[in-house]
Amino acid sequence: MFLDSDLLMSALRALTPILLAALGGALCERAGVFNIGLEGMMLLGCFTSVATSWFTGSPWLGVLAAALAAAAYSLILAVGAVTLKGDAVVLGIAMNLLAVGLTSFLLRTVFGVQGTFDDPSLQGLPLIGGFSPLAHLSWAAVAVAALLLSRHVWGLRLRGVGEAPDAAATLGVRPATYQYGVILLSGVLCGLAGAQLALGNVTLFTENMTAGRGWIAVVAVMLGRAAPLGVLLAALLFGLAEAAGFRLQGLGLPQQATDAAPYVVTLGALFLTTARRRRTPRPSGARS
Amino acid sequence: MTRTSLAGALRSPLTFSVLAGLVIGALFLVGTGADPLTAYEAVVTGALGGDGIGATLTTTTGVLGLALALAVPLRAGLINLGGDGQMVLGGITAAVTGLNSPLPAPLTVVLALLAGTAAGAGYAVLAALCENRLGVPLLVSSLLLSYPAVSLASYLARYPLKEPGSSLPQTRALPDGVALPAFGDSTVTLGLVLVALAAAAYWFTDRRTALGYEIRMTGLNPRFSAYAGVERRGLTLRLMSVSGGLAGLVGAIGVLSFPYRFVDGSLTAPGYTWTGLTAALLAGAAPLGTVIAAFFFAVLQVGGLAMERTTEVPRELTQVLQAIVIVFLAARLRFPRRLFRKRVTV
């Protein structure tokens, strides 16, 4: 049997980091900030969680430190794009590059190893009900984000800031405050995503271990049209692709085919949805 | 007049970014217990001294090639993040051509270069079509297409095209003579000249032709240029084909230089794509600036190894330095005017 509960379980495990990061990206998108620094914030979260868990012996402190570190890191985007009105795309690319360099540098100076830090005594996250606690948190976060955006005054103001910042400012809502808020929140979420990747899915740190997952999250934001439930579905698609890839590898397909699978599936899904969207007239005011 | 323009140059975000990068790099060095001056001196002497200059020029070939590849679309405000995939496809195509061509060796070299360029260009055009026809942003389509291409080349080098009997993931060596001529005993090949010619062609197009003007205007203000009659989709397609072609050329050059074969990972490992993108961003895709920035980063990259040997500071620091420069540049930070006003009036 190819589609069975095992596959679904491994898909749900692969889903968590993408979902957390994509939620952060979706909130930013709603507030009018194009955040492509997810990959870098996530990678920093990976390293911080592993380093903290190693030195304190507590994976929980690792998770906390990852969230704080990535949030602090996200200030680069907040200050650069919101306050100084710099180019968010270039800032995002630079943040991703900086994270690769910084984590590789720290890996060598702090742990004195190159490539991978892997130690049997490194504490990973325990499972609760078969899933990482961060997986439960990610599902709760989807619900909270969906309710917040559609029902709470903060969500309404946030969307207002994204769709018509001048109008929002006229009504006494300060766009910068909301944009700082969501960027910091996306930092926290990406830090958690990194902690899940490095202390949940596996228990180690490897250079550049996010391997494009932050970019998949950026695509998930596009696919899901920056709505929490849409993002959940998009991330689930990626999780299934990754899980199916591992399964196919078990059936004798070369590893390279399975490595490429998530990206091909994501691109395919992107084609299908944008092709359909192009036939239906775009609602006025929506951003391309 | 010269004083104010000098002050203007010093006040430019570029100067600030590079200086800030060097200062923060020095703080990192102090933090790891090394002497910043010794370390920076090691970078410069290591990269430009007799032992390092060959490696620096070889690295410059790759970094400048990719920097130009990414600068061409960037000049029009388009970002191609798929350099790795385009380069690797160019490399593997050149390897296949070189191994199977029935032509005499010199013609095979030319054919392999052309085939590699065409492969990179074709793959980049695919990303452009994704944006033009399917509405997937170029930034995303080019990057997502890059991963499967790298996987494909890796698969080919490990299974169907693998050198029989070898334990390494590499193709067979190219036949005798199927190689770019090298300068003396060095690893620097004619590839550097090809890349330099590409830079000259880019400079000429940018400065002296109507197309170059259209590209710059599109980069400065896409709506204005569209109003003035620049057809954006066609421009995207053309720029991406040149961009991918250059990336493919770098891949082909890599295969036609030592060790004269396609080795899985050897094209992507030096990080030409990201270093090249950093250089192009730093220079704002201006032709001359891109050349200077690419050389600067090649010096950092090669000098980083020398720094690691002398001070035991990991060479990854140079990567940190590059990224910091771009962070500051993107945030458009500069020295406050006050600092300079004094100097100009006094």
Q: Mind telling me how many Å the CA of B35 is from chain A's nearest CA?
A: 16
Residue B278 contacts A where some CB pair is shorter than 8 Å: yes
Work out the average pLDDT over B252-275.
93
Q: Tell me the longest C-alpha to C-alpha distance in chain A.
A: 61
Partner-chain contact B332 A84, CB within 8 Å: yes
Question: What is the C-alpha separation between B194 and B3, in angstroms, rounded?
Answer: 39
Partner-chain contact A215 B155, CB within 8 Å: no
Whole domain around residue A33: which residue ranges?
A: 16-214
* Residue A116 β-bridge partners: A206
Q: How confident is the model at residue B346 (pLDDT cuts 50, 70, 90)?
A: very low
Residue A274 belongs to some domain of the structure: no
B47-53: which pairs have CB atoms within 8 A and are 24 or more residues apart? B47/B298, B47/B299, B47/B300, B47/B302, B47/B303, B47/B306, B48/B299, B48/B303, B52/B302, B52/B303, B52/B306
Work out the average pLDDT over A36-55.
96
Which residues touch A259 (CB under 8 Å, ≥6 apart)?
A245, B147, B151
Partner-chain contact A80 B327, CB within 8 Å: yes
Residue A162 belongs to some domain of the structure: yes
Question: What is the C-alpha separation between B254 and B250, in angstroms, rounded?
Answer: 6
CB crowding A53-80: b at 16 or more within 10 Å, else e: bbeeeebbebbbbbbbbbbebbebbbbb
Question: What is the C-alpha separation between B142 and B254, in angstroms, rounded?
Answer: 22
Q: Are strands A116-117 and A205-206 parallel, antiparallel or unpaired?
A: antiparallel
B222, B236, B285, B271: which is closest to B127 by C-alpha? B236
Candidates A76, A100, A259; nearest CB to B319: A100
Partner-chain contact A90 B314, CB within 8 Å: no
Average pLDDT, whole number, for chain A? 89
Residue B186: is its pLDDT beyond 70? yes
Q: What radius of gyration, in Å, describes the C-alpha atoms of chain A?
A: 19
Residue A61: is its pLDDT beyond 50? yes
Work out the average pLDDT over B244-263.
96
Amino acid identity, residue A197? L
Residue A3 belongs to some domain of the structure: no
For chain A, give the percent of residues with pLDDT over 90. Answer: 58
Question: What is the C-alpha separation between B179 and B290, in angstroms, rounded?
Answer: 28
Residue B287: is its pLDDT beyond 80? yes
More confident residue, B310 or B248: B248
Partner-chain contact A257 B155, CB within 8 Å: yes
Can you give the pLDDT at residue A117? 93
Can you give the pLDDT at residue B344? 46
Number of domains in chain A: 1
Question: What is the C-alpha separation between B151 and B169, in angstroms, rounded?
Answer: 13
Residue B157: is its pLDDT beyond 90? yes
Quote the ipTM score.
0.87
Q: What radius of gyration, in Å, describes the C-alpha atoms of chain B?
A: 21
Question: What is the C-alpha separation between A47 and A87, in angstroms, rounded?
Answer: 27
Question: What is the C-alpha separation between B14 and B83, in angstroms, rounded?
Answer: 25
A235, A194, A188, A22: which is closest to A99 by C-alpha? A194
Residue A24: is its pLDDT beyond 90? yes
Work out the average pLDDT over A201-222.
91
Most confident of A202-211, B84-93, B131-140: B84-93
Can you give the pLDDT at residue A285? 41
Can you give the pLDDT at residue B10? 75
Q: How confident is the model at residue B123 (pLDDT cuts 50, 70, 90)?
A: very high
Supply the angle between the helices B316-330 and B287-311 in degrees, to the nearest 10.
140
Residue A220 belongs to some domain of the structure: no
Is residue A241 within 8 A of residue A252, CB to CB? The reply is no
Q: How confident is the model at residue B339 (pLDDT cuts 50, 70, 90)?
A: low
Q: Enumerate residues 4 to 63 of chain A having a beta carbon within 8 A of any beta carbon in chain B.
A: 36
Q: Which residues of B touch A256 (CB under 8 A)?
A: 151-152, 154-155, 158
Residue A267 contacts B where some CB pair is shorter than 8 Å: yes
- Which one of A76, A96, A109, A113 would you mutate to disrupt binding with B, by most B Cβ within 10 Å of its Cβ? A109
Average pLDDT, whole number, for chain B? 91
Task: Give residue-wise pLDDT tens across range B4-54.
Answer: 677 777 778 888 888 999 999 999 999 888 899 999 999 999 999 888 899
Is residue B89 within 8 A of residue B119, CB to CB? The reply is yes
What pTM value is reported for the model? Answer: 0.90
Residue A176 contacts B where some CB pair is shorter than 8 Å: no
Candidates B136, B319, B330; nearest CB to A270: B136
Q: How confident is the model at residue A273 (pLDDT cuts 50, 70, 90)?
A: confident
Is residue A193 within 8 A of residue A18, CB to CB? The reply is yes
Helix (H) or strand (E) holding A117: strand A116-117
Question: What is the C-alpha separation between A134 and A132, in angstroms, rounded?
Answer: 5
Question: What is the C-alpha separation between B115 and B298, in angstroms, rounded?
Answer: 27
Pairs across A and B, CB distance < 8 A: 128
Residue A238 belongs to some domain of the structure: no
Most confident of A165-179, A182-196, B310-324: A182-196
State the DSSP string of A127-172. PBTTB-HHHHHHHHHHHHHHHHHHHSHHHHHHHHHHH-HHHHHHTT
Can you give the pLDDT at residue B341? 56
Q: Which residues of B touch A105 (CB under 8 A)?
A: 28, 314, 316-317, 319-320
Can you give the pLDDT at residue B312? 86
Residue B343: is its pLDDT beyond 90? no
Q: Which residues of A touch B324 (CB under 8 A)?
A: 98
CA-nearest residue to A279 within chain B is B134
Q: Which residues of B touch A212 (CB under 8 A)?
A: 143, 147
Is residue B117 within 8 A of residue B109, CB to CB? The reply is no
CA-nearest residue to A113 within chain B is B314
Can you give the pLDDT at residue A27? 95
Partner-chain contact B144 A263, CB within 8 Å: yes
Domain ranges of chain B: 74-283
